[in-house]
């Protein structure tokens, strides 16, 4: 696992809920830091979802909630990753929120 450090600049770049304040400041190193804060070690499957989310957000300016996220991932990658259960396995109990957070995106609309 890559060891990451959390300096004060990194912490101040996050809002009170741990989302990156400026999505354009996102880097893969920041994703590693955000994932570590969530207790997640990023795998190839994580990166595929993260890159898909960032691409989707760049086109639509929307961080999708759970149902649209599942549909998006299923459309792009098929059943391999595109189910609620598999996304929960990757990103925990709130996959849409956690995936958006690690992707450097705002909190998804309609997510509690």
What residue segments make up the domains of the chain, in order of their start? 8-102
Q: Please, which pLDDT band fits residue 11 given cuts at 50, 70 and 90? A: low
- pTM here? 0.88
pLDDT score of 2 more than 50: no
Kindly report, residue by residue over 51-98, the tens digit of the pLDDT.
Answer: 999 999 999 999 999 999 999 999 999 988 899 999 999 999 899 999
Which candidate in 4, 13, 14, 111 is catalytic? 111
Q: Please, which pLDDT band fits residue 109 given cuts at 50, 70 and 90? A: confident
62 belongs to the catalytic site: no
User: What confidence score (pLDDT) does residue 3 get?
Assistant: 42
Instruction: Report d(CA 87, CA 103) in Å as an integer.
Output: 14
């Amino acid at each position: 696992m890559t060891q990451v450090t959390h300096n004060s600049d990194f912490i101040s770049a996050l809002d009170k809920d741990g989302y990156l304040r400026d999505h354009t400041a996102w880097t893969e190193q920041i994703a590693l830091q955000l994932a570590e804060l969530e207790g997640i070690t990023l795998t190839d499957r994580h990166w595929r979802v993260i890159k898909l989310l960032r691409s989707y957000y760049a086109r639509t300016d929307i961080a999708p909630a759970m149902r649209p996220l599942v549909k998006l991932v299923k459309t792009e990658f098929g059943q391999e990753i595109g189910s609620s259960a598999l996304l929960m396995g990757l990103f925990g109990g709130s996959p849409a929120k956690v995936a958006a957070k690690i992707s450097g995106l705002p909190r998804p609309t309609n997510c509690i």
